[in-house]
Structure 1
C-alpha cells in the first residue's frame, strides 16, 4: 500500500535566525500626553474646522476695522445704505448689490438715488456709520470681555477649588457653603447692583461675569483634587517633605490642565452670550461703544426695513458660539484618556 504522506527532505528546513538587536525595537514612536491629544484632535473634523473659523474671526477682529477704508464716524447722508461689494455687485444671487426691497416688494437703489459712489461692504446704520468696521470692533470688545472674565474665573476658581478639595474637613465645608450662597444669587441681580455703583461698560460687565462665574470652575477643580490628592505621586511628595501649596500647584495642578482647558472653552461662549444679552436689554455697553449685543439690538429695532443690520451680527455671534462649543467637545474627547480609540 502506498503511503499517502509525502516525505519532505529535511534539507529543505532550516532554523529561523533571530536578530537579537531587533528584540527591543519600538515600532511606534513614543508620544507625550499633548502629542497624543493633538493627534486625536486632528481626527475630529468639527474641531479642526472650528479652529480655522475661530482663527479667522480673531484675525478679522484685529485687522478688520482697517480693511474697509471707512471709520465709525457719523455721516447722516450715508444712513441706512445696504451692503454693496463692487467686485460681486453683478452677481444676482448674492445680497451685496446695494439694493433693498421695501414692504411692497419694490426694489430700492439708495446708492444711485443719492449718487453715492462709495461701497459699504456690510452697509451702514441709521447714523451712517460703517457696519463692517463696527462689527469687527464689536467682535473685538466681546472677545476681550469674554477672555478677561474667563481668565479671572480660572485664577479664582482653580485656586479656590484646589485649596478646598486638598485640605478638606472644616475648611472644605466652609468654602463649599460660600459657593452655595453665591450660586443662589442670579447674575442679573449682580449686574444691576454693579451698574448702580459703577458706570455701565466693560468693567461692570467683566466684574459681573467674574463674581459668580468662577463657581463652576471651583467645583470641577475640587472634584479633581479629591480624586488625585491620595494617589501615590502626591503621597510620595508629602513624604519627602513638600509643602501643601507645592503639592497643589506643582504636582496636582499639571494633572488637571486638561479639565481646566476644557472648562475654559465652555466658559468663553457663555460669557460672550451673557455680554450680548446684557447689551441687548440695555444693561451693557453704551453708545458709541459697540459689541455684538449692541449691534443685534440696533438691528432688531429695524429688522423689517433693514434686515441686514440684524442678520450679519447674528451670524457672527452664532459662529462664535458654535465653534467654541465644538472645539470644547473636541478637546474634551482628546484630553480624556477614557476616550482613546
Structure 2
C-alpha cells in the first residue's frame, strides 16, 4: 500500500480584514501619515508644553507689553536704564550714574532731605527686569548709596500679548484647551448621535418618525441662543462648553447613523440574527454600531475641527474660555484687536489653528479613501 499525496498547489495568502486593508491604504497616503505626525506633535505640545515652557501662561511682565518676537533675550541693552529709572521712580531718591555691564546694573542714588532707606532695593526686585538687588549705603554720608542688581534674561520667542504675557506659553495652553474641548465634545456628540441614530433606524416605524422629528426641532433652535441660555443658568466653564457643543453636534451624527442603519437592517447577517432570536438591543450593539464604525471614524475627524471652530467662535464672542485660561479662539480674537501695531499676536495663533485644521482635514480625507468600499 503506497501513500498518495495530493498537490494542492501554492498556499494562498491569508485574506486581510477590512481594517487591515484600510490601514495598509492609509499608510500609503503620505498626506494622511504626515497629518498624523503633526497631530501627535501638537497633542504632545498641548499636554506637556505648558509644563516645560520657560514662562507660565498667566505670568504678567508689565515691562514687556507687546514686545516683538526675538531669539535674543529681553531686556535689550537700551531698555535696561529706562527700566531702572521706572522702577525707582517712587523711591523718592535722586538717581546718579547708571552703569550696565556683564548682566549687572549699578545705580548711584542720593537724597537731599533724609537718609537712604535700605528697603528701596525692593522696588527693583518687584520689577520683572531685575533680581537680587542689594544696596550699599555710604557710611560717611547716609544720604548716598549704590544699588547693584542682576539683569534677568527673558526670552519671548513669539513675543508677548497686550498684558505682557508670553505668547508662546499661551499658545501651548490654548492647544491643550482647544484639543480637549474638540475631543471631548466630539466624543459626547458621537456617543449620543450613534446610539440615537442606530436605535431610530433599527426600530423604524412611528418610533423612528417621532425620534427624527425631535431632531428636526433641535435643528430649529439657534445654537448661539442655546449657549447663551446655558451661560445664564450655569455660568461659564469648560464643562459647559462640552455640553453646549456636544448637545448640538450629535444631530448630524444621528442622521448619518440612521441612514447607515436603514441600509444595514436589510442585510443578511441582521436577518439571520433576528431569525436566531437575538434581541434588538443586542443586534444594534453587536452588528449595527460596529458596521457603522468606518463612517463614524471619518465623521469624527471632520467633526473635531468643526467643534474647535465653534469653540473659537464662542470665545471670540466672549462666551467661551475665560481668563487666565485661553484657547486659540481667544488668542485670535485678541490678535485681531492688535493686528495693526502687533501683527504677530494674530499671526502665530492663526497659523497654529490653520496647521491643526489642515492636519485634521487631511486625516479625514485619508480615512475616507482608506475605508471606501468601492476601493476594496
Alignment TM class, shorter chain as reference: 0.7 to 0.9
- 1:82 and 2:68 matched: yes
Partner residue in 2 for 1:25? 11
**Aligned match of 2:215:** 179
Q: Structure 1 residues 205 and 226, CA, compared in 2 at 3 Å: closer, same or farther?
A: same
TM-score for the superposition, normalised by structure 2:
0.76
Distance 1:114 1:66 in 2: 29
Structure 1-normalised TM-score?
0.84
Question: Is 1:151 the counterpart of 2:187 in the alignment?
Answer: yes
Partner of 2:79: 114
> Relative to total residues, which structure has the larger helix share, 1 or 2?
1
- 2:116 paired residue number: none
Structure 1 contact 123–130 (Cα < 8 Å) conserved: yes
* Residues in 2 aligned to 1:181 and 1:339: alpha-carbon distance in whole angstroms: 38
1:38 pairs with 2:23: yes
Cα drift, residue 220 of structure 1: 0.6
Q: Which has the higher strand share?
A: 2
Give the greater-gyration-radius structure (CA).
Answer: 2
- Cα-to-partner distance string for 1:294-336 (whole Å, 9 max, x where unaligned): 1111111111111111100000111111111111111011112
8 A Cα contact 1:150 1:268, kept in partner: yes
Task: Give the structure 2 partner of residue 65 of structure 1.
Answer: 50
For the Cα contact (< 8 Å) 1:76–1:126, is it kept in 2? no
CA distance in 2, matches of 1:111, 1:125: 18
Is the 1:122–1:130 Cα contact (8 Å) retained in structure 2? yes
Q: Which residue of 2 aligns with 1:161?
A: 197
2:196 is the alignment partner of 1:231: no
Structure 2: tracts of 5 or more residues without a match: 81-128, 130-152
3-state DSSP class of the match of 1:263?
A: helix
Q: Is the 8 A contact 1:158 1:221 kept in 2?
A: yes
* Matching of residue 198 in structure 1 with residue 208 in structure 2: no
How many residues in Structure 1 have an aligned counterpart in Structure 2? 300
Q: Is contact 2:75-2:154 (8 Å) kept? A: no
Q: Unaligned stretches of 5+ in structure 1?
A: 1-18, 87-97, 99-108
Measure how far apart 1:22 and its partner are: 5.2
